[in-house]
Structure 1
Amino acid sequence: MPKRILVVEDNDLNRKLFCDVLKANGFEVLPVADGQQVIASAKKFAPDGVVLDIQLPNISGLDLIAAFRADRALQAIPILAVTAYAGKGDEEKIRAAGARDYLAKPVSITPFMTAVRKLLGSSPELAGSPPPHAV
Structure 2
Amino acid sequence: MTDVPISEPSPTVRVLLVEDDDFNRWLLDDYFTHHGYQVLSLAEGSSFFSTLAQFQPHVVLLDLKLPGISGYQLLEALRQNIEFQHLPVIVFTAFAFRTERQRALQLGVQGYFVKPSHPETLVAAIEKVCAR
Name the counterpart of 2:85. Answer: 75
Q: Could you report, residue by residue, the CA deviation over 1:95-117 in whole angstroms, capped at 9, with x for unpaired residues?
A: 10121211000011221211111
User: Within the alignment, does 1:9 sit opposite 2:57 as a pair?
Assistant: no
Name the counterpart of 2:42. Answer: 32
Taking every aligned residue pair, what percent have the same amino acid on both sides?
Answer: 32
Name which of 97, 109, 114 aligns with 2:119.
109
SS in 2 for 1:30: strand
TM-score, normalization: structure 2? 0.87
Greater mean deviation of Cα atoms: 83-92 or 54-63: 83-92
Unpaired runs of 5+ in structure 1?
A: 123-135
Contact 1:35 1:58 (C-alpha < 8 Å) held by counterparts: yes
Name the counterpart of 2:7. Answer: none
Task: Report deviation, 1:118.
Answer: 1.5
Structure of greater Rg: 2
Which structure exhibits the higher relative contact order, with contacts defined as CA atoms closer than 8 Å and separated by 6 or more residues?
1
Aligned length: 122
SS in 2 for 1:36: coil
Name which of 84, 92, 99 aligns with 2:102.
92
TM-score, normalization: structure 1? 0.85
User: In structure 1, what is the Cα distance between the partners aligned to 2:108 and 2:49?
Assistant: 15
Q: Give 4+ residue runs of structure 1 displaced > 6 Å after superposition.
A: none
CA RMSD of aligned residues (A): 1.2
Contact 1:66 1:98 (C-alpha < 8 Å) held by counterparts: no
Task: Report deviation, 1:119.
Answer: 2.3
After superposition, residues 42-57 of structure 1 pair within 5 angstroms as 42-57=52-67
